Amino acid sequence: MSDGRPAAEQRHDLRGDCASCFGLCCVALPFSASADFAVDKAAGSPCHNLRADFRCGIHDRLRQEGFPGCTVYDCFGAGQKVSQVTFGGRDWRQDRETASVMFAVFPVMRQLHELLFYLTEILARTEARPVHDEARRALDETEALTRRDPAALAELDVAARRQAVNPLLLRASELVRAPHRARSRRGADLIGARLRKADLRGADLRGAYLIGADLAGADLRDADLIGADLRGADLAGADLTGSVFLTQPQVDSAKGDGATRLPPSLTRPGHWPAARAAAPGERTSGKAGPRKPAAKGGRQKKGASKGTWRTPGR
């Protein structure tokens, strides 16, 4: 994985490519009837909206049909890895004997790929240069785990792997945040908190509960947001450029607008209103944006309840 390419380029491989996946998130993962999903679905059972070609039959109207949870899920590229590499292109419909193993492997792979995403971020941060060698080793070791055979992957202790890498993520975060000397809010209960226009530069918000928080206009540059729960948080006009370990599913689950500033590796959700034109250098993702390779009749992503990073401080 640390193959000499720029980290930003390597990160491109860590996005879901629905066109190369056998709809694994729509089959392997369970969800419950709620505000996020219109119906109950058991793990290993195909969603009734999944078509024969592994595309979503309601892709263009997921929110209107009661499946907003599907629009805020990303597999970090685990779906295509399991489909095309681990199982060599054999889909679960053709080969039912291996289907249960495939469905067990998918959430493991998703967590490994999320870890790869964080490690590539370390390599993209010049402030974290003192730990770049260690990050490259961790990246190679983690990538090697993703190449294991199906049985080994299904049995993999992915929690142990995360625990092993977590100190490195912490050190990288400290290096980025050091100039700000911000106080720690790790794992803090900030549900519904009024943080409008707050100066949160360099804040340690690992695993913080920011559900429904008012972060409009807040300055979150260089803040560590790994595992922070941003569901329904108001990020209108907030500045998240340079934030550490922020993921696309976190962004997708929040409420922002055209004035929200995001790290360049992330895209503006298509369901956010456009308050203003994007700033120079920012990317925007409409319905046919670059992170939706299967946009035409394809599947967007599902539920934030699976595979979320958990920090020791939470």
* 83 counts as binding ligand SF4 under rule CB under 6 A: no
| 2, 17, 24, 49: which one binds ligand SF4 (CB under 6 A) | 49
Report the residue from 28, 47, 211, 244 that binds ligand SF4 according to the rule CB under 6 A. 47
Q: Quote the CA–CA distance of 267 and 206 in Å, as a whole number.
A: 21
Nearest distance from C-beta of residue 32 to ligand SF4, angstroms: 13
CB burial string 259-275: b at 16+ within 10 A, e below: bbbbbebbbbbbebeee
Q: Does 67 bind ligand SF4 (CB under 6 A)?
A: yes
* Residue whose CB is less far from ligand SF4, 66 or 212: 66
Minimum distance, C-beta of residue 283 to ligand SF4, in the bound complex (Å): 23
Calculate the CA dihedral of residues 196, 282, 247, 147 and round it to 10 degrees. -170
Tokens of 257: 């607008």
Q: Is 11 in the site for ligand SF4 (CB under 6 A)?
A: no
Q: Report phi then psi at 251, rounded to 5.
A: -65, -45
Cβ atoms 176, 125 nearer than 8 A: yes
The SS3 of residue 41 is strand
The site that binds ligand SF4 (CB under 6 A) totals a number of residues, namely 12
Contact window for ligand SF4 (CB under 6 A) among 62-70, 98-106, 138-146, 249-257: 62-70
- Residues between 128 and 187 with contacts to ligand SF4, criterion CB under 6 A: none
Identity of the residue, 250 or 300, whose beta carbon is nearer to ligand SF4 in the bound complex: 300
Bridge partners, 56 (sequence order): 50
**70 binds ligand SF4, rule: CB under 6 A:** yes
When asked if residue 203 is in the footprint of ligand SF4 (CB under 6 A), the reply is no
With CB under 6 A as the contact rule, the residue among 250, 260, 300, 311 that binds ligand SF4 is 300
Q: With binding defined as CB under 6 A, does residue 19 bind ligand SF4? A: no
**Three-state SS at 181:** coil
Which CB sits closer to ligand SF4, 16 or 237? 16
Q: How many angstroms separate the Cα of 185 from the Cα of each of 54, 225, 248?
A: 42, 10, 22
* DSSP letters spanning 257-268: -TT-B--TTS-B
Distance in Å, CB of 299 to ligand SF4, minimum: 4
Provide the terminal-to-terminal Cα distance of the chain, rounded to the nearest Å. 29
Binding site for ligand SF4 (CB under 6 A): 26, 47, 49-50, 56, 58, 62, 67, 70, 299-300, 302
